[in-house]
Amino acid sequence: MQHLIIYAHPSKKSFSCMLKDRLVKESLINGYKPIVRDLYQMSFNPVLSSDDLDKIKYGNVSDDIIIEQEYIVNSDLITLIFPLWWAGYPAILKGYIDRVMSYGFAYKAGEKGIEGLLINKKVVLLTSMGNSIEEYEGKNLIGAFKQTLGHEIFYFCGMDVIHHEFFQQIPDASEEIKEKYSNKALKFYNSVWFEKV
Ligand SMILES: Cc1cc2nc3c(=O)[nH]c(=O)nc-3n(C[C@H](O)[C@H](O)[C@H](O)COP(=O)(O)O)c2cc1C
């Protein structure tokens, strides 16, 4: 089993980085081969260009995108780890989705409308943030984030979003709290390792 971890944070001092490192170890222990795509470290080019759009029309993509698509095709489980920035993905991750989840690879127009092509893949999203969950719940935004950052993208492409966890008030959290949050996140994966979801 292959576990693709798409990681979008520029700092090694971040909570997101700690979560990524712990998830890599936990995957190995549980028999999943972790592959980390560290978008900042790779200097991933997030700009969908005119050339990209022309290629997509003919069912082609750039060489850097073929590599990313192969990782997706060969993975059973995909985790995205990212901070919430301006109520969305960091731009580098948004650009990864723009370029990698391309027409003809991730979805296509079939006889019955749009068909997702990436079936039998589980997706987990882990999102750190500055605000409290309560504040966002009060604005009905947690459900909206789950929809726009998860379902509208991954279900659309035929994948199963099995979990989206938010980690609140991270800039003010103690090491103890961060440890507690990461333990909770990793606990969820027990249901994945043992195929209960
Ligand atoms: C550019 C930028 C935009 C941000 N926008 C939001 C936001 O919309 N909502 C929020 O709750 N926190 C926001 N934050 C705070 C981050 O989400 C928070 O610092 C981060 O998740 C902490 O976790 P980390 O240690 O993994 O970076 C923003 C931070 C930055 C740098």
Q: What's the CA gap between 43 and 92, in Å, rounded?
A: 9
Pocket-testing residue among 85, 136, 148, 175, ligand 1, by greatest number of atoms within 8 A of Cβ: 85
The CA 83 to ligand 1 mean position distance, Å, reads 6
Atom of ligand 1 nearest to the CA of 170: 22
Tens-digit pLDDT profile for residues 132-170: 999 999 999 999 999 999 999 999 999 999 999 999 999
Question: Average pLDDT by consecutive 10-residue portion of the chain (197 residues)?
Answer: 98 98 97 97 98 91 97 98 98 98 95 94 98 98 98 97 98 98 96 82
* Dist CA 108 CA 113 (whole Å): 8
Burial (CB count within 10 angstroms: exposed 0-12, middle 13-18, buried 19+), residue 63: exposed
Residue nearest to atom 31 of ligand 1 (CA): 85
The domains of the chain are located at: 2-193
Separation between Cα atoms, residue 160 and residue 37, nearest integer Å: 20
Cα(84) to centroid(ligand 1), Å: 5
From CA 38, how far away is CA 95, in angstroms rounded?
A: 14
pLDDT, tens digit, 9 for 90 and up, residues 160-181: 999 999 999 999 999 999 999 9
Q: Is 30 in the pocket of ligand 1 (CB under 6 A)?
A: no
Kindly state if the Cβ of 171 falls inside 6 Å of ligand 1: yes
Q: Closest Cα to atom 12, ligand 1: which residue?
A: 130
Mean pLDDT of the chain: 96
Q: Among the atoms of ligand 1, which is closest to the Cα of residue 84?
A: 17
Instruction: Give dist(CA 66, CA 104) in Å, integer.
Output: 12
Q: What pLDDT score was predicted for residue 194?
A: 87
What is the CATH code for 2-193? 3.40.50.360
pLDDT of residue 197: 64
Hey, which residues does 77 pair with through a beta bridge?
3, 122
